[in-house]
Amino acid sequence: MKSNNTKLVTRRPTLKTLSHKQIKTTIYIKSSTPYISALKRTKKFLANLRKNNSKYVSLMGMGKAVEKTLAIGCYFQNEKGNGIDIITKTVEVIDELMETESMGMHEDAGVQDVEEQSDDDRETFLKKGRLVGLK
């Protein structure tokens, strides 16, 4: 579907359909997430495990954040003695593309005004680190 007269506008986030329980036990690590903040957050989630009636906290990291996610996993494995499972996975994401031709009907619009959007499917890789709290 990708041709020469298209331009990448944005990359859409991954598809998320989370239940109440999943929301309370899943942490998405961004490349911009501070390491210590992620640790604190994970600890907080682990402390609330019983309240949410679940057995583990999942940490998700994709692309650039994979390394950081693994680092957090290692911290809990080595320092805290928690058991962790590392699961790798491929996730489909959607890119938002823009046609550079056929700008529309008129003259004086900025670039952001003339978004003709179409989506494209593209495969990227993602690693999912799963953390299991030890009981």
Partner 1 sequence: MIRVDQFINSRQFEIKQLQFAMQSSKTASATRVFQALPRKLRRRTASHNVKRIPKRMRNRALREMQKNEQIQTVKKGSTTSNKLKKHNGLTPAKLYKAKMAVKLLRLASKSTSMKLALPNEAVASKYNLRQRIKSLQKLIKEARNNGPDVKTVNNSLGNYDNTGINALAPIPKGRIKYCKRQRTFTWLPTHIWNAKRSHMMKRWGFSIPWSPTQKCFKLTHNIGGKHATSDGALCMDTSFIGTMTIRDLDPSGSNLKNLVKAMTKGRGLLNKFFKSKNLFEGLMHDWDSEDKNIVIGPCDMLWLSGNSILLRLHPALYPIVFNKLIQSYTSKLSIEDCRYSIASITIRGAKALTALSSVVRSHATSQSFEQFMKIRKITDETVLPSKCMFAFEAIDPRHLASPKMINSQKCNKPLTVDEILALQNKFPQDEFNSVLSKLTTVEGRETSYKNQNTLKQLARRRRQLLTKEQPKTAVPFDKDQDPTIPLLIMRRPKNEDWVVLLPWFWHLPFWYQLNRISRVYHSGLRQTQQLAYESGKLYFPDDYPFTHEGEMENAVYKRQARKNKWVKKPLGKRINFAKLEDIHLSELPAISGEIGDYFSCDWKLLQIINNGVVYLKQSNEGTLPMICPNKTTQFDDCKGRMVNYFNDVLEVYKDIVANKFEINSTTQGPSIELSKNIDPIKNYSITTISEISEKPIPVTPIVCHLVRRGHPKDNARIYRIPETDTEYWMKVAKGVYKSDGRLDNDTEVPLPQISDLIGYITSGTYHFGEGKGVGNGFVTTVITDTLPQYVLLRNVGTNIYRLAKCTKIKL
**Closest CB to partner 1 among 74 and 111?**
111
Residue from the set 49, 86, 114, 132 that interacts with partner 1 by CB under 8 A? 114
- Residue 26: CB minimum distance to partner 1, A: 7
- Residue 28: CB minimum distance to partner 1, A: 5
Number of residues that make up the chain: 135
Contact 26, 60 (CB under 8 A): yes
**Contacting partner 1 within 72-91 (CB under 8 A):** none
- Residue 13: CB minimum distance to partner 1, A: 6
- Non-local (6+) Cβ contacts of 105 within 8 A are none
- Residue 84: CB minimum distance to partner 1, A: 20
> What is the secondary structure of 68-118 as a DSSP string?
HHHHHHHHHHHTS--EEEEEEEEEEEEEEEEESS---S-S---TGGG--EE
3-state secondary structure of 54: coil
In the complex, which residues of this chain contact partner 1 (CB under 8 A)?
12-18, 20, 23-24, 26-28, 92-94, 96, 102, 104-110, 112-119, 121
